[in-house]
Amino acid sequence: MLKRKFFRSLLAAAAGLTIAGSAAAAPQPLQLEVYNPGANGMFPVSSELVTGSTEAIVIDAQFDRANAAQLLKKIQDSGKKLTTIYISHGDPDYYFGLEVLKEAYPDAKVLAPAPVIAHIKATMQDKLAFWGPKLGVSAPRQLIVPEPLEGSTLTLEGRKLEVVGLDGASPDRSFVWIPSLKAVVGGVLVAGNEHVWTADTQTLASRRQWIKMLDKIAALHPKVVVPGHFSAGAPQNIESVRFTRNYLKTYEAETAKAKDSAALIEAMKKHYPNLEGVSSLELGAKVSKGEMKW
């Protein structure tokens, strides 16, 4: 009897150690923080800091040195080691701030998909010539070109961040899906509480592909969606996906009816009288009606 009790005690203790050991080995859930300069930036572009227990990944590096410095402070305050900076899109507001982050974290990898790298290489000098004087002392002093992302996955402490859309019709317009957080971040597909930038999608086919990608986001049933650009009050959830989709549908219908950009702008303002970013609408309308090349 005493022997049986002794063995039961040993088994119970061993089971307790196994449970405790499993708990200790379980990775800490990832955390997500967003930096968006809002009215303090030339563009309200989003960057995300994803952290584990000891390491971190940043998605997108801001447009200017001043806001990249604010993003850097957020990274440093986390106390985590920055291992990777991922650039999700090839427009300069996504990568002009890279040098500030690399100065502080020289060993961090800078990665992007091949189509994004091609976009950056083809446009970066012209973009710097145009935006440099406007940014003044906050303009980048050195442009950094990312290294190619191998495959379509980033990994942080054993957890995956999946780049979705690289195998589609517009591989330069992808997004990042973080399954453990059910979060969508990165890219230019989703806008929040502002006129949607359409100048880079000048054809009906390109805008329809955009809508397909929004539907792909919705099909994931995300709990969090961080718009690539957003103004104050924008929801960081599926509502911004629905807003962007509805905006594109409305824009398409009004473009077909409008005789010129002025008529298109007026029609869209009637549909969306309170949105920020009217200059984006004005430029996009001129491009869509053939009055301006972009």
Question: 206 phi and psi, to 5 degrees?
Answer: -70, -35
Residue 291: predicted pLDDT: 95
Residue 204: predicted pLDDT: 87
Residue 14 within a domain = no
Residue 200 within a domain = yes
Q: What is the distance between the alpha carbons of residues 187 and 178, in angstroms, rounded to a whole number?
A: 14
Whose CA is closest to 87, among 51, 41, 48?
A: 48
Residue 6: predicted pLDDT: 41
Whose CA is closest to 74, among 43, 105, 96?
A: 105
Average pLDDT of the segment spanning 174-184: 98
- Read off the pLDDT of residues 66-80 as tens digits, 9 standing for 90 and up: 999 999 999 999 999
174 and 269 together in one domain: no
pLDDT of 266 above 50: yes
Sheet containing 31-35, strands listed edge to edge, beginning at the edge strand earlier in sequence: 31-35, 47-51, 55-59, 81-86, 109-112, 147-148
Residue 13: predicted pLDDT: 47
- Read off the pLDDT of residues 250-260 as tens digits, 9 standing for 90 and up: 999 999 999 99
Residue 26 banded pLDDT, cuts 50, 70, 90 = low
Residue 52 banded pLDDT, cuts 50, 70, 90 = very high
Domain tally, the chain: 2
Task: Out of 187, 210, 239, pick the residue that ends a domain.
Answer: 187
In angstroms and rounded to an integer, the radius of gyration of the C-alpha atoms of the chain is 23
127 and 211 together in one domain: no
Residue 28 banded pLDDT, cuts 50, 70, 90 = confident
First vs last C-alpha separation in the chain: 87
178 and 199 together in one domain: no
Range of the domain at 72: 27-187
**What whole-number percentage of the chain has pLDDT above 90?**
87
Residue 209 within a domain = yes
CATH number of the structural domain spanning residue 36? 3.60.15.10
Q: Count Cβ atoms within 10 A of the Cβ of residue 168 and give its class: 0-12 exposed, 13-18 middle, 19 or more buried.
A: middle
255 and 193 together in one domain: yes
CB 74 within 8 A of CB 37: no
